Amino acid sequence: MTAPRHVTLIDGSGFIFRAFHGLPPMTRPDGTPVNAVYGFTTMLMKLLADSQSDHVAVIFDSSRKTFRSEIYPEYKAHRPPAPDELVPQFPLVREATRAFDLPAIELEGFEADDLIATYARLAVEAGASVTIVSSDKDLMQLVGPGVDMYDPMKNRAIGEAEVREKFGVAPDKVVDVQALCGDSSDNVPGVPGIGVKTAAQLIEEYGDLDTLLARASEIKQPKRRESLIEHAELARISRQLVRLRTDAPVPVPLADLDVKPPAPEKLAAFCAAQGFRSLMGRLNAKIPTTAPTATRAIVDTASAEAPSLPPKVESDYELVTDLAALDRWVAQASKAGLVGFDTETTGLDPLRAKLVGVSLALAPGRACYIPVMHSSGEAQGDLLGGPSADAPKLIPAADILARLKPLLADPAVLKVGHNIKYDMQVMAGLGLAIQSFDDTMLLSYVLDGASHGHGLDELCLLHLGHRNISFAEVCGSGRNQVTFDRVPLDKACAYAAEDADMTLRLHGLLKPRLLLERMVSVYETLERPLVPVIAAMERDGIKVDRPQLMALSEDFGRRLTELETEVVALNNGEAFNLGSPQQLGKVLFETLNLPGGKKTKTGQWATGADVLEDLAHLHPLPARLLDWRQLSKLKGTYTDALVAQINPATGRVHTSYALAATTTGRLSSSDPNLQNIPIRTEEGRKIRHAFVAEPGKRLISADYSQIELRLVAHVAEIEGLRDAFADGADIHAITASQVFGVPLDGMDSALRRRAKAINFGIIYGISPFGLAAQLGIPQGEAKAYIEAYFARYPEIRTFMERTKEEAREKGFVTTLFGRKVFTPGIKDKNGAMRAFAERAAINGPIQGGAADIIKRAMIRLPAALVAEGLKARLLLQVHDELVLEAPEDETEATVRVVKRVMEAAATLSVPLLVEAGIADSWDAAH
DNA sequence: TATATCACG
DNA sequence: GACGTACGTGATATAA
């Protein structure tokens, strides 16, 4: 055993809480929450990977009671108990520590911070340097000669300078400052009225707390003086609370913290037990190459001297500003056949944003940034207006594009992007096509569904334990935000190259999982090929008739004022904000004293449409208000907003489709959302009427008839339903006839309506409550209908049970094309939560299956149109509907192709039927 | 930033 | 016996 040279002390308890709150929820297959355990494990892996330490320990809080609660009972007393999802993770984190062969140290009556302080003292006395791994400001008092800190959440070293930035004083005065300003999160009182700034100023002036308190009467500001004199004792107690003990009776001697040779099998077993598949991949990759830790113990004194700071991910990023360097990178990318690719632009809208730079990554840690259009920060201050002397010299944009074009188009070089649709749009605007590509966002989406988000930063934290430089750190935020072209080149390079680097690293991690987790086909046939199709749809956009919308807006506006006057009159002339549910609730249930008021879960009056409809027969106000709400919604959300969204350059609106957003595999549309344009009411339809074709062209709307119900019939193998579909005609009337045993001829419309509601209910995972609410009938009656339905179609029950069982067993259900729809909460101990998850599980294969089918159609459609020599363009997708724009004289032929492709997109045991219309407006075509 | 409401499939 | 529910989205205004 050798004497310690460098000791790393990890604040385990602090980390658990931060990881728990910072990471999305994750559960083990058995339902145990493990997000904090996962964060902890990746943090340790990363920390140990290139740690130079010879002694390492993870230190935990033991119990809530410590010597501090003896001194001051309120200390940390207001802390709520740990969340239920965190409690089972405490023992697991200690288990993780042991899996790394590290000591997990805790001591009754002492906080982790005191043990860390004590070990730090012992280490320094033994001549070693110390790194404390924590983001807790309470540990900053320990920073000093031989001791520094590392914040694993922010991936940042904390030295004297950082402490000074935080507290305004040197580390050895931190205790005095904290004693004065207190700490609300720990319930340390401090002196009332004194914050960090004032405390630092006082300590700087008087030297230390005792001197300050002794000379408090000299202070000029009267309030401050009184407070200090009155609360001197409180300050002394506070100091006792914040000062860490360096004399804790540590349960394990320092010498025993020495690093043991690694036992990767032990760690792999632990990861396997927790279901950490991606970590196992990393372990397996590492096991053969990693040298035993013991031999990595300090050999050269140089690195031992400088307290080694842990581990940034090793990186070597190059700023490319000359053609020779660019050629070198392009040649190497071309030779490698694989390159991480990312673009930086001036904005989020790919149609309006200008390209600022491009980054490439060749291997983990090896990436470059090629600026295309930067105005240096210095140029701003150049009063002469000429080019600033130190303005960076960049490669001319035309040269960069000329070099990138063949690389991006080369089918032999795989370009890996994160949300590469965006980069595709930007490059398409410059005439560059991306030929062969992968998208890490989509990989993550098909593998892990909605169990977490799929942003690059989030994935890096999750899979690589690496915190990326944030956009805000580079460009600022709020009113100080600047566009990327104003960012100094060195900062821009660090940020942009990192994105390409991380994208490539994620690719290495995620792509192999496709095969292992049987997701190759979903990714290769459903998701990836859709990217260029959607990119083209977004670029094409759809024309809206601006004058028509503006006229509508005016009309709505006028009627809104009229309605408002009427409503105010009905409220005894008392004006109020009709848009405020809160004020409306008071008017209805307090001023007018209408009966039957319900409260929402936050204790406010509920004023939803259903409530207002119930009130309509008691008073004229609710009906007027419903009208007002409808028009207000239409004006605010559609007419006005849509006009504002027209792209001046194209005269069209360009929505953005999210490919990796929904739990079921559907697309979602935003900015503007074109998947919820009104149709159900006459007034609403007027908005749809303003979506038009260019002169000489027509709009075609083609939608799947009853696709979800057909999927139910197919997937659940419901013979009766299949027959009904085979017979064609009115499916709801047929099921009404079959379920209620009445003849199809002269079907009662009320009966048909009930059958329709049950048909929909099945798709949503039916419940008597839901059906009763939908139909406005008693729950008992709804229950009887469901029983009748189940009796006629017994296979539906089997399907529902089978689906729930699958969800419980695997944590997800699958669509007929193999997409996973994850079902978190399926084992929740709360019955309501579980029921919710069960209904979602039943809906998953149905909604998800329909999403798969229309995606298949969209992927095949462009080529099918080209093959027939047709010029039609796909413009919109609305879940079961496609909207195209076609030259007037090609509409008939286009409809034939569209129908053919859509109906052949899946072969089911029931036919798929597509209904299409042709017109000048979307309203008329639908 | 959260909540209530309402537009769509 | 009580709980709290139809499935999936996004945009808006209000209120905090």
Is residue A555 a part of any domain in this protein?
no
Decide if A917 is inside a domain: no
**pLDDT for res A532:** 96
Nucleotide nearest to A630 (CA to C1'): B6
- Report pLDDT digits (tens) over A216-233: 888 877 777 888 888 888
User: What length is written for chain A?
Assistant: 926
Nucleotide nearest A766, from its CA to each C1': C6
Asked whether residue A662 is domain-assigned, the answer is no
How much of chain A is helix, strand and coil, in % rounded to 5?
A: 55, 15, 35
Strand A652-653 and strand A542-544: the pairing is: antiparallel
Share of chain A above pLDDT 70, in %: 94
pLDDT average, residue stretch A180-186: 79
**CA-to-C1' span, A537 to C16 (A):** 40
H or E stretch at A151: strand A147-151
Higher pLDDT, A582 or A443: A443
DSSP states along A796-838: HHHHHHHHHHHHHHHSEEE-TT--EEE-TTTT-SSHHHHHHHH
Nucleic acid strand B: bases within 7 A of protein CB: 3-9
Same domain, yes or no: A348 and A279: no
Which residue's alpha carbon is at the shortest distance from the C1' of B4?
A581
Q: Are residues A256 and A146 in the same domain?
A: yes
Q: What pLDDT score was predicted for residue A391? A: 56
If asked whether residues A350 and A436 sit together in one domain, one would say yes
In Å, what is the separation between the CA of A503 and the C1' of C1? 54
Q: Which two tokens stand for residue A393?
A: 């010299």
Out of A653, A670, A691, a domain closes at A653
Read off the pLDDT of each residue in A764-782 and give the average, rounded to a whole number: 88
**Residue A274 in contact with residue A28, Cβ under 8 Å?**
yes
pLDDT band for position A824 (50/70/90)? confident
- The Cα A926–Cα A701 span in angstroms is 5
Separation in Å, CA A393 to CA A164, A327, A328, A379, A767: 38, 17, 19, 13, 67
CA–CA dist A36, A24 (Å, integer): 9
CB A796 within 8 A of CB A762: yes
- The encoded tokens of residue A119 equal 């070990």
Is A433 domain-assigned? Answer: yes
Residue A703: strand pairing partners = A881, A915
Q: Return the closest nucleotide (C1') to the Cα of A611.
A: B5
pLDDT tens string A718-752: 999 999 999 887 999 999 999 999 999 989 999 99
The answer on A348 and A266 residing in a single domain is no
A4-21 pLDDT per residue, tens: 899 999 999 988 888 887
Among A517, A551, A583, give the residue marking a domain's end. A517
Shared domain check, A577 and A636: yes
Mean pLDDT lowest among A283-297, A346-360, A746-760? A283-297
* Cross-sheet strand order for the sheet of A316-319: A316-319, A366-371, A355-363, A338-345, A414-417, A437-439
3-state SS string over A203-252?
HHHHCCHHHHHHCHHHCCCHHHHHHHHHCHHHHHHHHHHHCCCCCCCCCC
Q: Rounded CA gap, A476 and A491, in Å? A: 12
Lookup: nucleotide whose C1' is closest to A678 CA: B7
Residue range A206-218, pLDDT digits in tens:
888 888 888 888 8
What is the CATH classification number for the domain harbouring A603?
A: 1.20.1060.10
| Statement: the CB of A661 is under 7 Å from strand C | yes
Tell whether A724 and A770 lie within a shared domain: yes
Nearest nt (C1') from A581 Cα: B4
Q: Which of A74, A19, A109, A86 is nearest to A184 (CA)?
A: A74
CB A759 within 8 A of CB A733: no
**Per-residue flag: A672 CB under 7 A of strand C:** yes
Q: Distance, angstroms, CA A924 to C1' C6?
A: 31
Tell me: do A249 and A396 sit in the same domain: no
How far is the C-alpha of A429 from the C-alpha of A533, rounded, in Å? 15
A773 CB closer than 7 A to any strand C atom = yes
Summarize pLDDT for A506-537 with one digit per residue, the tens: 999 999 899 889 999 999 999 999 999 999 99
Q: Nucleotide B2: nearest residue by CA–C1'? A: A602
Residue A115 lies in a domain: yes
Least-confidence region, from A462-466, A525-529, A855-859: A462-466
Reference A60, options A127, A137, A123, A113; nearest CA is A113
**A894 domain residue, yes or no:** no
A812 domain-assigned: yes
Q: Which pLDDT belongs to residue A281?
A: 66
Indicate if A445 and A512 belong to the same structural domain: yes
Residue A638 clears pLDDT 50, i.e. is over it: yes
Higher-confidence residue: A704 or A230? A704
Report the 10 Å Cβ neighbour count for A854. Answer: 23
For residue A537, give the amino acid letter.
Answer: M
Position A388 confidence tier, pLDDT thresholds 50, 70, 90: very low
Does at least one atom of strand C sit less than 7 Å from the CB of A474?
no
Closest residue to C4 (CA, C1′): A832
Runs of H (alpha helix) within A517-591: 520-521, 530-540, 546-570, 581-586
Reading the block at residue A779, the tokens are 């729950």
The answer to whether A26 and A38 are in contact (CB under 8 A) is yes
| Domain match, A617 and A513 both | no
User: Protein footprint on strand C: which nucleotides are under 7 Å from a CB?
Assistant: 2-16
Inform me whether the pLDDT recorded for A583 exceeds 70: yes
Measure Cα distances from A641 to A552, A578, A672, A785, A860 in Å: 12, 20, 8, 43, 33
Tell me, yes or no, whether A85 lies in a domain: yes
Which CATH number is A149's domain given? 3.40.50.1010
Co-location of A496 and A374 in the same domain: yes
Q: What's the whole-number mean pLDDT along residues A597-608? A: 82
Residues A606 and A466 in one domain: no
Helix (H) or strand (E) holding A704: strand A697-704
- List the structure tokens of A390: 């130190």
User: What is the structure's pLDDT at A310?
Assistant: 38
Helix A749-763, helix A731-740: angle, nearest 10:
100
Nearest of A850, A839, A840, A860 to residue A815 by alpha carbon: A850
CA count, 13 A, side-chain hemisphere, A535: 20
CB A657 within 8 A of CB A667: yes
DSSP state of A45: H
In chain A, count of helices (H) and strands (E)? Answer: 41, 23
Residues A569-591 have a mean pLDDT of 89
Burial class (CB in 10 A: 0-12, 13-18, 19+), A657: buried
Q: Does the pLDDT value for residue A872 go beyond 80?
A: yes
Q: Indicate yes or no: strand C within 7 A of the C-beta of A629.
A: no
Q: Decide which of A843, A868, A889 is a domain's last residue.
A: A843
Please write the tens of the pLDDT for every residue from A103-130: 999 998 899 999 999 999 999 999 999 9
Through-space separation of residue A635 CA and nucleotide B7 C1' in angstroms: 12
- Whose structure tokens read 């993770």? A89
**Token match 């994750």: residue?**
A26
The reply to whether omega before A222 is within 30° of 0 (cis) is: no
Q: Which two tokens stand for residue A94?
A: 């200690």
Share of chain A above pLDDT 90, in %: 57
Domains in chain A: how many in total?
A: 4
d(CA A919, CA A692): 9
Provide the CA A822 to C1' C8 distance, Å, integer: 14
CATH code of the domain in which A335 resides: 3.30.420.10
* Same domain membership, residue A717 and residue A638: no
**Domain containing residue A615:** 562-653
